[in-house]
Structure 1
Amino acid sequence: MYNNILTCALILCVWLQPLHAATKRQATYGSPVQAAGSPNSPSFTLTNEQQASLPPIPLDIYQDSLLPTPLLPFKHGYVTEIHRVVTPDGYILEVHRIVSSPLRRSSKALKPVAFLQHGFLDSSATWVMSGQEHGLGYALADEGYDVWMGNGRGNVYSRKHILYDPDGSRSDREKFWSFSWHEIGMVDLPSMIDYVLNATAQPNMFYIGHSQGTTAYFVMCSERPEYNAKIKMMHALAPVAYMNHAVSPVVRLAELVPTALQRVAEMLGAYEILPSMDLFKLLGQQLCRDTSPIIAICESVLFLITGFNERNLNATLFPVYLSHTPAGASTYQLVHFVQEAQSGRFCQFDMGTPQDNMQKYGNPTPPEYNLANVRSRVILHYSDNDWLSSPIDVRRLHKNLPNAEMNHIPDEKFEHMDFVWGIGARSVLYEPIIASMKLFDKLVGMQTIAKNLVNYQQNYL
């Protein structure tokens, strides 16, 4: 029965693929660095035709459902930029920057850097699409941080490669989509971090990740420990590494047949899962607005995956959420997460058979990530109602990290997406995070002054 369900789902993905290729948002930019408000950027001014067909939702909600990430803050007076990073293996990643806030006058120079990395099936939009009062990207920019928002390979903003077409021949699609979150941690994050530090002339940065954005970070620092020195402090929102206590029905269903899921995907050529499509945008605008009679169904579908907490969700923004999420991912990312849930290990991708693992790793089972290498300071923010990041799994992760602290969200209904979309996230989570970042810089500054004073006394007194 479960095999039939998953086979049907993957067949649906294949059927939707050409529709996605015809409707995907593909903005073309001439320069690797571009101001979001430049003339050749997409405009958020509505045409007469758009105004004539305007759905019965507020104008600002409709605009935000159409705008790409950089123009969401730009609309409110923030200075934003679009950057492109080419990885060593040829993926073209788009990184979005909030240079400054209208609430304070400041230049690009001498500002602490905050790098934000989204979760699975998400994008940089997750940090700003909840609006100025609730988005973490806005909160950081308002406090004077130089905010950079990454996009992992395969999502709507990083769906390009120097050689392979993600919608081209089967050979091109297979080569483009042959990655999981292992490659995002091993290649994408280091490439984006190096680019940002070089662009800002800063030696290190703050890192904030949500869900898969934490998974990829742990991969990076485990396998490439030299990157620990480039991170001042890492804030892990709903951290995901061990997953054997995840209670999401979707994860548990897929966990029953992870190998079949992978094989059927390969057989059908369904290498991509839930790409960003105008179909989702239309559903959000027409069916999931807050006055819709089926809004409860929209909420239930979301909560079925991540956990229930309708009181912390701004239902008015459902058209915006569905326009930006899902943002697309490789099927192998999902398979890799399902393997984690089934095995109870935080390890590299299981190739499917002991023979295949032996050929790739020299061992019949995939190697575990060495979390002892994650030496940067890590704060694990978790909650009791998170169906993907179980408190039991977070405690196990904390035990295996050498320099980690835990922060329990006191709201007993706080769920997985509340960490980025929740109405109450700013007061219960973002403000304490920013306070800890400021304290960190202050203490480092005091230590530097004390060190310089000691050096002066030793050399000149």
Structure 2
Amino acid sequence: MPRLPLLGRLFFQDYIALIVGFVALAFENLIHLIILCLPKSVINWFYKRSRVIFHFISGAPQDAAEEKKRANDVLNARDFDELCSIFGYTPEDHVVLTKDGYLLGLHRLPAKRGEKNPSPGYTTGKPVVYLHHGLLMNSEVWVCLTEAQRSLPFVLVEQGYDVWFGNNRGNKYSKKSIHHGPNTNKFWDFSIDDFAWHDIPDSISYILDVTKAKTLSYIGFSQGTAQAFAALSIHPQLNDRINVFIALAPAMNPAGLSAPLVDGLMKASPTLLFLIFGRKAILSSATMWQSILYPPIFTKFIDRSLIWLFNWHSHNISTYQRMAAFAHLYSFASVKSIVHWFQIMRNASFQMYDDDVLSPVTRTSVSSYRPARFPTRNIASPIVLLYGDSDSLVDINAMLAELPEHTLAKRLHGYEHLDVLWGRNVHVDVIPEVLGTLNRFVRRDPEDSKLNGEAAH
């Protein structure tokens, strides 16, 4: 099909999709404005009506006793502290100031269930584990499970670890800067580069200063792994501070989305996202829809979106677990960080953000320009990948080709992306692998904590 002259990389159907997107976005903004003007009683009426309609269509709800009650408790928890208190844990809150002026919220679980740290904000003498969330998420995704035995951090705490949780700039717990307010474009002018240059190393430095530990173990999920790949590749000294890096559902250079139209449109011109969503936070109205929709309806909407965009069907995650976890799934992220991911997918390269966004991409035998790539083969820390073989975002062979020879990879049969966090059998398939890896690299002489040529290639 011939291309139109304007934005010549787009096809005619791409323009149709773009126009439809603008109309849908305008309609959503109108709805958002109307809802802001409505009294709470009216909003509650819409919420109750959506519940009645849902039960009329799907039938009366079936009672699942304990799981249903726990799911409701998790769903209604307002923040990280309340989620932990459901299971009897008392977290600590910390704040770290990055070198470029962002204030990041950190959480810590220093003591076992029912216990408290006698010296808050100080060392426990335990081995330290740091967990970092994925894209459009915050630290709550680690603790919003309906059973404590399936929650990795709770298991780690009971095994004697000092567990810390990070948060990216801009999300629910890190929406502050000493230089710019969150309503300015300047505040949201960050990408994966900034996570790697500042958020990850500055958070780790703070944690090691508080705990007096020499090293910690890093466990990342999805984009949390990409941020570690990037940070370790550009900060050689950081490798000496991480005794092992465990990557859950690792992300580096995904092939793309399962929705062909969206995938093609964004790869053709990633900066169209700026045109559609602006230059601040993306999908900021998600919390509005969550507040007015009955939770099972909101869950159905997320389910359909995940199938359409990523071909994830979530068969390994129970209905109640999805309802509980999806309420804590979304957190604020910059449009620029999403644009960065589409640049990575378009160029099939784990690269730094391309500031030359307006130049056309030309593929010739000799290129005159190439965005800087993260030198991930230079990572010295031990790396263990735990990936699902049904995860559309993981091309394990392409990933291993960009990582050092000492990388180990473990396949999780039948697992999709989110299954690694919330699957019904993570306590059987995932958590034991994590514990085994930590026992191997943490609880022994530091000199032996490096991999000795055991490659997954």
TM-score by length of 1: 0.77
Post-superposition Cα deviations, 1:63-118, rounded to whole Å, max 9, x if no partner, equal: 32332012211232212111111111111110111111227898752111110000
Paired with 1:90 and 1:20, the residues of 2 have a C-alpha distance of 34
Listed as ranges, the matches of 1:246-261 within 5 Å are 247=258, 252-261=263-272
Residue 308 in structure 1 maps to residue 284 in structure 2: no
Aligned mate of 1:317, from 315, 321, 328: 321
Alpha-carbon distance change, 232 to 298 in structure 1, aligned in 2, over 3 angstroms: same
Listed as ranges, the matches of 1:133-212 within 5 Å are 133-167=149-183, 173-212=184-223
Equivalent residue, structure 2, for 1:126: 141
Paired with 1:16 and 1:162, the residues of 2 have a C-alpha distance of 33
Paired with 1:113 and 1:180, the residues of 2 have a C-alpha distance of 27
Equivalent residue, structure 1, for 2:93: 82
Listed as ranges, the matches of 1:433-444 within 5 Å are 433-444=434-445
Residue 339 in structure 1 maps to residue 343 in structure 2: yes
Alpha-carbon distance change, 283 to 404 in structure 1, aligned in 2, over 3 angstroms: farther
Q: Equivalent residue of 1:382, what SS?
A: strand
Note the C-alpha offset of 1:336: 0.7
Residue 405 in structure 1 maps to residue 408 in structure 2: yes
Paired with 1:250 and 1:227, the residues of 2 have a C-alpha distance of 40
Asked if the contact 1:244–1:343 (Cα under 8 Å) also holds between the matched residues in 2, the reply is no
Equivalent residue, structure 1, for 2:249: 238
Aligned mate of 1:92, from 78, 103, 108: 103
Listed as ranges, the matches of 1:20-35 within 5 Å are none
Paired with 1:175 and 1:243, the residues of 2 have a C-alpha distance of 28
Residue 69 in structure 1 maps to residue 73 in structure 2: no
Paired with 2:28 and 2:136, the residues of 1 have a C-alpha distance of 14
Alpha-carbon distance change, 308 to 322 in structure 1, aligned in 2, over 3 angstroms: closer
Note the C-alpha offset of 1:20: 10
Q: Equivalent residue of 2:327, what SS?
A: helix
Residue 381 in structure 1 maps to residue 386 in structure 2: yes
Asked if the contact 1:6–1:261 (Cα under 8 Å) also holds between the matched residues in 2, the reply is no
Equivalent residue, structure 2, for 1:359: none
Percent of paired sites with the same residue: 25
- Could you tell me which runs of 5 or more consecutive residues in structure 2 were left unpaired when the two chains were aligned: 1-15, 39-43, 52-60, 362-367, 450-457
Paired with 1:22 and 1:314, the residues of 2 have a C-alpha distance of 37
Paired with 1:322 and 1:388, the residues of 2 have a C-alpha distance of 19
Note the C-alpha offset of 1:402: 3.9
TM-score by length of 2: 0.78
Paired with 1:347 and 1:262, the residues of 2 have a C-alpha distance of 19
Q: Which one-letter code corresponds to 1:386 in the other structure?
A: D
Note the C-alpha offset of 1:445: 6.5
Paired with 1:19 and 1:200, the residues of 2 have a C-alpha distance of 49
Note the C-alpha offset of 1:13: 7.4
Residue 369 in structure 1 maps to residue 374 in structure 2: yes
Q: Which one-letter code corresponds to 2:161 in the other structure?
A: Y
Q: Which one-letter code corresponds to 1:91 in the other structure?
A: Y
Equivalent residue, structure 1, for 2:401: 396
Aligned mate of 1:271, from 242, 255, 280: 280
Asked if the contact 1:258–1:335 (Cα under 8 Å) also holds between the matched residues in 2, the reply is no
Paired with 2:353 and 2:29, the residues of 1 have a C-alpha distance of 23
Paired with 2:306 and 2:349, the residues of 1 have a C-alpha distance of 27
Asked if the contact 2:314–2:416 (Cα under 8 Å) also holds between the matched residues in 1, the reply is no
Aligned Cα root-mean-square deviation (Å): 3.3
Note the C-alpha offset of 1:303: 3.2
Alpha-carbon distance change, 71 to 344 in structure 1, aligned in 2, over 3 angstroms: same
Alpha-carbon distance change, 22 to 261 in structure 1, aligned in 2, over 3 angstroms: farther
Paired with 2:191 and 2:442, the residues of 1 have a C-alpha distance of 34
Alpha-carbon distance change, 445 to 221 in structure 1, aligned in 2, over 3 angstroms: closer
Q: Which one-letter code corresponds to 1:155 in the other structure?
A: N
Asked if the contact 1:255–1:341 (Cα under 8 Å) also holds between the matched residues in 2, the reply is no
Asked if the contact 2:32–2:285 (Cα under 8 Å) also holds between the matched residues in 1, the reply is no
Q: Which one-letter code corresponds to 1:269 in the other structure?
A: G
Note the C-alpha offset of 1:221: 1.1
Q: Equivalent residue of 2:163, what SS?
A: strand
Q: Which one-letter code corresponds to 1:164 in the other structure?
A: H
Equivalenced residue count is 398
Paired with 1:2 and 1:318, the residues of 2 have a C-alpha distance of 30
Asked if the contact 1:380–1:394 (Cα under 8 Å) also holds between the matched residues in 2, the reply is no
Note the C-alpha offset of 1:181: 1.5
Post-superposition Cα deviations, 1:310-364, rounded to whole Å, max 9, x if no partner, equal: 33112113343232121110001111111111111111111214599xxxxxx73
Listed as ranges, the matches of 1:46-57 within 5 Å are none
Q: Which one-letter code corresponds to 2:74 in the other structure?
A: D
Equivalent residue, structure 2, for 1:43: none
Paired with 2:250 and 2:37, the residues of 1 have a C-alpha distance of 35
Alpha-carbon distance change, 269 to 14 in structure 1, aligned in 2, over 3 angstroms: farther
Alpha-carbon distance change, 370 to 138 in structure 1, aligned in 2, over 3 angstroms: same
Q: Equivalent residue of 2:106, what SS?
A: strand
Note the C-alpha offset of 1:275: 3.2
Q: Equivalent residue of 2:337, what SS?
A: helix
Note the C-alpha offset of 1:6: 4.3
Post-superposition Cα deviations, 1:182-216, rounded to whole Å, max 9, x if no partner, equal: 11111000111000000100011000001110111
Equivalent residue, structure 1, for 2:331: 327
Equivalent residue, structure 1, for 2:57: none
